[in-house]
Amino acid sequence: MSDQADESYHKLIEHFQEWFFGMPESEELIPLLKFRITPEEAELMSKLPFLTHTPEQLSAKLDVPVVELTEKLEALSKKGLIFRVEGSTSTRYAMVDSSWPNRTFGWIGKDSKEAREYAPLGNDYRQKAFGKTYLDYPTIGLRAVPIEKTVEDPTTIMPYEDVIKIVENMSFFTKTACPCKYSHNMDNRLDDCEHDLHVCLHFDTLGEYIVQNNLGVEITKEETLEILKKSADAGLVHGVSNYKEKVDTICNCCKCCCIFLDKLVKAPRGITPSNYLREIDEEKCVGCGICAKACPVDAIEMQEKKVVFTAEKCIGCGVCVHKCPQKALYLIRNDEEQDYPQDPKDFAFRALSERGHDPMETIKKNYWR
C-alpha cells in the first residue's frame, strides 16, 4: 500500500486522539485499521465531527455533494465504523470513539477467516497499547452493578445501581456477541472461552442502531432479563455504561476475556466498582473455596481453609455472593461512595479533561452548526 494511503490512516489516528480514550500507537495498529477501513474511508472518517450532524451540514463543511456523501456515510454505518441515529426530522451521523472498530467487528460474532486473522492482532494491540489507556485515568467505560438480590439491605440501592430497574426503564432491547469473548475465541493461540458468546445487551438509541445495521438482533425485555439471570448463574459480572443516566449497554463479563477485568488493566481495578463490598457471616462459612474460584478480580483467596479478603480489589459485583452455597456472603454499602458521571456528556467532559483536552474547546470544534 502506498505511503499516501498510509497517510490516511495516520490522519485517522490523529483524529481519534482528539477524543476520549485516544488511540495509542503500536506496531499492530495500522494493520488492524487496514483490516476494517479502506484508505478512502479513513480519509473521510478523519474529517468527521464526534457530535451528530445531518448530511446537509456535513456536506456544506466537507464540500461533498449530499447524495454522494450520504452513500458513503451509510456504508460506514453498516460496517459499524460511524454512528447513525434516526431522529424525528432527520438522520444524523457522528464519528465514534476508538473502541468502536473492535467492538462492532465483534458484535456479529461469526467465525470467518478474516476474523481469525484479525483477532491475534486485536488481542496483541489490546495487551500492548489500548488496554493501558484504562490504567492512567479514573474515568473508565464500565462500572460494576451488583447481581440481583446480593445486597443485604435492598433499601440502600439507588436506581442506577439496580440492574433490574435499569432494564425496566428501557424501551428497545438488543443483544450482540461479546467482542472480548469473540476476539478471544477467534485467536487460535488461545483456548475458547466456556461462557455464552451472545450476552452483550444494548438499549434504546444504540440498540436501534445495532439492529438497523444488522450488527445484532432485537430481543424482548423478558429475554434480556433471562440473559442477565443466566449470566449471573455463570459467574459473569454485570458491567454497565459508566453513568447514572442514559445507560445504553450492559456487558456480562468474564475474567478470562474482558478487557476491563484483564489483569493488565487492573489498577487495582480495570472496571469501576459498585458502591458495595463483600461481607461474610463467619458462622455460616465452611471454607469450601467456591467464592475464591468465582471472584473475577482475585479479591478472595483461600489460605489453610480460611477465607482471605482484599477489599481494595473488590468491585462489588456480587458474583461471590450469588455463587456461595452456604449463603454466608452478602454485599454491604461501602462507606466510600464512587463518583459516577451523571450522563454521557458528563462522562465525555471528565474523560477529555483527564487526557489534557479542554472539553469546551473540543465540543466547539465538533459543533458544525
Can the peptide bond before residue 268 be classed as cis, meaning omega within 30 degrees of 0?
yes
Q: What is the pLDDT of residue 1?
A: 47
- For the chain, the residue count is 369
H-state helical runs in 18-65 = 29-36, 39-45, 55-62
The Cα 55–Cα 43 span in angstroms is 17
Provide DSSP, 235-304: T-EEEEESSSS---EEEEE-TTT-TTTSGGG-SS-SSB--SEEEEE-TTT-----HHHHH-TTS-EEEET
Q: What is the pLDDT of residue 2?
A: 56
Triad 282, 288, 294: Cα angle to 5°: 100
Q: What is the pLDDT of residue 55?
A: 97
The Cα 22–Cα 9 span in angstroms is 14
Amino acid sitting at position 75: A
Q: What is the pLDDT of residue 30?
A: 95
The Cα 150–Cα 161 span in angstroms is 12
- Burial code (b: 16+ CB inside 10 Å, e: under 16) for 94-113 equals bbbbbbbbbbbbbbbbeeee
Q: What is the pLDDT of residue 195?
A: 96
The Cα 314–Cα 274 span in angstroms is 9
Give pLDDT tens digits along the chain (369 positions): 457 779 999 999 999 999 988 999 999 999 999 999 999 999 999 999 999 999 999 999 999 999 999 999 999 999 999 999 998 889 999 999 999 999 999 999 999 999 999 999 999 998 888 877 766 788 988 999 999 999 999 999 999 999 999 999 999 999 999 999 999 999 999 999 999 999 999 999 999 999 999 999 999 999 999 999 999 999 999 999 999 999 999 999 999 999 888 755 555 567 899 999 999 999 999 999 999 999 999 999 999 889 999 999 999 999 999 999 999 999 999 998 999 999 999 999 999 999 999 999 999 999 997
Q: Which residue in 28, 38, 30 sits closest to 13, CA to CA?
A: 30
Instruction: Report whether 74 contacts 81 (CB < 8 A).
Output: no
CA atoms within 13 A of residue 224's CA, in its CB half-sphere: 26
Triad 229, 232, 238: Cα angle to 5°: 105
Let me know if 304 is exposed, middle or buried by CB neighbors in 10 A (0-12, 13-18, 19+).
exposed
Q: Which three cell numbers, joined as nine digits, stand for 50?
A: 464526534
Instruction: Kindly list the distances between the CA atom of residue 330 and the CA atoms of 154, 165, 253, 322, in Å, as whole numbers in the listed order.
Output: 11, 20, 20, 9
CATH 1.10.10.10 location in the chain = 3-98
Provide DSSP, 160-200: GG-HHHHHHT-S-EEEE--HHHHHHHT-TTSPPPSS-S--E
Quickly name the fold that domain 3-98 has: Arc Repressor Mutant, subunit A (1.10.10)
Contacts of 116 (CB under 8 A, 6+ apart): 186, 187, 188
